[in-house]
Structure 1
Amino acid sequence: MTTRLSLPALMLAAVLALPVSAQITDTPEALAALQGLGREMSREMVGGTMKLYGQMLAGADDAGLAVAADQPYGPDARNLLDLRAPEGAAALPVVLLVHGGGFVRGDKGDIVNMARWFARQGVVAVTMNYRLAPAAHWPAGAEDVGAALGWLSAHVAEHGGDPSKIVVIGDSAGAMHVADYVFREELQHAGDGVIGAVLISPPVADLRARALDPERDLLYYGAKGDRAAQSVVGAVAGREIPVMIAYAQNEPDVIIDQTRRMIEALAERDGRLPLIVSAPGHNHISIVSHFGTADDTFGRDLLGFVTLQALLAGQEG
């Protein structure tokens, strides 16, 4: 029997076969150390990666940046966001960065290195906390993304940002909150200024497939949820904005599969692949924690996407 692949599946197979090693990094020693930690989400891999980049970024600060910390965007104690911008910024593109943490942990401070890097490239960078499981349940994270965007619409101009040029970037669990917001019309706010989204290593795009930590996911999605309805792969028609899908070269098998499902859903919707980028040599943790080091290959890919969408939005406006 011959198995037929759809056009999007064939296109995806061709992209994933490309050699990511063709990309260049300026921190080969760090990437060499990462390879010995493996791909799976073990305590050794997570702890070793965090220690490695913690040492590399020791002493990093906000020099040259204007910072507004702990701005309340909603009623919950975790509804706080930080803004970082170049001093004297005016009408710059904005990135809203949504941290990961498996739905149950994480903090905006975890990705401060990412915010500082973007701000130093001429972008207003916003990091946000959101409600966590088990106290909060699906779609609370996406609702908080919407609330943060509402706050930015009203206030980001005061901090040098253009409220009509916002790209939302989510990592891991944060990618699911971003995806739920940008694809589910019932969660969206009119005039939210969102011109693009970046989904980094989405872990549960399809809840019917194998998960990284099923018991932990239940704390957020609930034991009795409709898995088909909760799966964002079935909701991509809700908003057709430009989307970049990003992944690390050394992701766990489950993340590879879930990222593929997200890509295929968008390809089926559009008849073409979304923009796909990889972080060569990196793992599920270092794909974000390396921002601010000399290795800016992946960051430049994201910055290029943000800059392009801002230029296109300006032409349309």
Structure 2
Amino acid sequence: MLVLPAFLLVVVVLLGTNEYAVARPSRRTADLAYVPAADPDFDTERHRLDVYAPRAKSATARPVVVFIHGGSWNSGSKDFYSFIGRRLAKQGVVAVVINYRLAPQVQVPAMADDCARAVAWVVQHIADYGGDPQRLFLMGHSAGGGLAALLATDNALLARRGLAPNPVRGVLLDDPAGLDMYDYLKKLQYAGDEEYLIPFGKDPAVWKATSALYHVTAASPAFMLFIGGETYPSISHSSEKFRQRLRQLGREPKFTVLPGKKHAPMVLQLYWQHNVIYQELLKMVGA
């Protein structure tokens, strides 16, 4: 039988108590299908999302944040990120945490379309949960950051799902991957880079089409980027390129480097409700 050390047991109890305290002010509606079950592409696990809404009543509809998880385009689940939904709901936001299909089942264009379909569902249904579809924001970490940026900049993705003009009002990117996969996959300069040819394929035209850097315009919504000071060089480089492109368009984003942070801790720090990323996100959405 495994016996936890006393100090670790205390930590587990404290974290569990804290999670319960955070959960109480929020209401989770889990595993809602955002693709009809009759759709030939319907995936019973991946075409699901969770809605986290504040329990407290509000005289006005609340801002909405859709969170897209990372995982190198081949892993990850909304179920791991319930802490983000809970903490956003506790702070007056209606949060939506989504799943989407992954490689090798599908490639990135299909993942982006899944995310677009999830956003379309949110626009149609979020008022039922107290959210305002006119105040819709995106948030993503790693691969999810790249997908969030693509949804916000490639208007055709959402237009194909009946959302024209693009309803996204702002985007927070947390250590985003995939902002410029065209440049990244042309170089293949890091060990193991060939694995990304599975989700992105071998066609350079697709690499460019799925990279937000090549879609952003002066009409794109506001961006906010948080980058780990010790993240992967490719993320630092592509994020800076994205920042410079926005600057050229007269859309200077809020760009913050968090010293000492590696890639995974950039999202794990969101366990703490008063984290600087939440503070800035709440300002963006007006919560």
| Fold shared per TM-score above 0.5 | yes
Judge which range, 220-229 or 130-139, deviates more. 220-229
Q: Distance in 2 between matches of 1:298 and 1:88?
A: 23
Q: Distance in 2 between matches of 1:148 and 1:172?
A: 19
Q: Which residue of 2 aligns with 1:197?
A: 171
* 2:84 is equivalent to residue 102 of structure 1: no
Which residue identity is paired with 1:171?
Answer: H
Q: How does 1:49-88 map to 2 (within 5 A)?
A: 57-59=15-17, 60-61=19-20, 62-74=23-35, 75-77=42-44, 78-88=46-56
Give the CA deviation at 1:218. Answer: 1.1
Q: Which residue of 1 aligns with 2:120?
A: 150
* 2:224 is equivalent to residue 244 of structure 1: yes
TM-score (norm 1): 0.74
Q: Which residue of 1 aligns with 2:213?
A: 233
* 2:283 is equivalent to residue 304 of structure 1: yes
Which residue identity is paired with 1:141?
Answer: M
Of the candidates 134, 137, 146, which is equivalent to residue 107 of structure 2? 137
> Any conservation in 2 of the 1:86–1:124 contact (CA below 8 Å)?
yes
Give the CA deviation at 1:204. Answer: 2.3
Q: Which residue of 2 aligns with 1:42?
A: none
Which residue identity is paired with 1:172?
Answer: S
Q: Distance in 2 between matches of 1:191 and 1:68?
A: 28
User: Which runs of 5 or more residues in structure 1 are unaligned?
Assistant: 1-50, 311-317
Judge which range, 246-255 or 224-233, deviates more. 224-233
Give the CA deviation at 1:269. Answer: 2.2
Q: Which residue of 2 aligns with 1:171?
A: 141
TM-score (norm 2): 0.81
- Any idea what the Cα deviations from partners look like across 1:119-173, whole Å, max 9, x if unmatched? 1110011100001011111212221221111111111111111111111111110
Q: Distance in 1 between matches of 2:24 and 2:258?
A: 27
Distance 1:160 1:248, change over 3 A: same
Which residue identity is paired with 1:117?
Answer: R
Distance 1:265 1:235, change over 3 A: same
Distance 1:98 1:229, change over 3 A: closer
Q: Distance in 2 between matches of 1:57 and 1:221?
A: 38
- Any idea what the Cα deviations from partners look like across 1:249-280, whole Å, max 9, x if unmatched? 2212221112112212222222x521112334
Give the CA deviation at 1:285. Answer: 0.9
Give the CA deviation at 1:64. Answer: 2.1
> Any conservation in 2 of the 1:111–1:288 contact (CA below 8 Å)?
no
For residue 158 of structure 1, give the secondary structure of its aligned residue in structure 2: helix
Which residue identity is paired with 1:222?
Answer: G
> Any conservation in 2 of the 1:279–1:297 contact (CA below 8 Å)?
no
> Any conservation in 2 of the 1:57–1:292 contact (CA below 8 Å)?
no
Q: Distance in 2 between matches of 1:294 and 1:269?
A: 33
Q: Which residue of 1 aligns with 2:233?
A: 253
* 2:81 is equivalent to residue 118 of structure 1: no
Distance 1:198 1:297, change over 3 A: closer
- Any idea what the Cα deviations from partners look like across 1:205-227, whole Å, max 9, x if unmatched? 22213566522321111023423
Q: Distance in 1 between matches of 2:128 and 2:227?
A: 34
User: Which runs of 5 or more residues in structure 2 are unaligned?
Assistant: 1-7, 36-41
Distance 1:198 1:76, change over 3 A: same
Which residue identity is paired with 2:172?
Answer: V
Give the CA deviation at 1:112. Answer: 1.4
What is the identity percentage for the equivalent residue pairs of Structure 1 and Structure 2? 30
Report the number of matched residues.
255
Q: Distance in 2 between matches of 1:294 and 1:167?
A: 18
Q: Distance in 2 between matches of 1:253 and 1:57?
A: 33
Q: Distance in 1 between matches of 2:134 and 2:121?
A: 13
- Any idea what the Cα deviations from partners look like across 1:162-197, whole Å, max 9, x if unmatched? 111111111110011111211112112225632111
For residue 267 of structure 1, give the secondary structure of its aligned residue in structure 2: helix
Highest relative contact order (Cα 8 Å, sep 6+), 1 or 2?
A: 1
> Any conservation in 2 of the 1:249–1:282 contact (CA below 8 Å)?
yes
> Any conservation in 2 of the 1:95–1:166 contact (CA below 8 Å)?
yes
Give the CA deviation at 1:94. Answer: 0.5
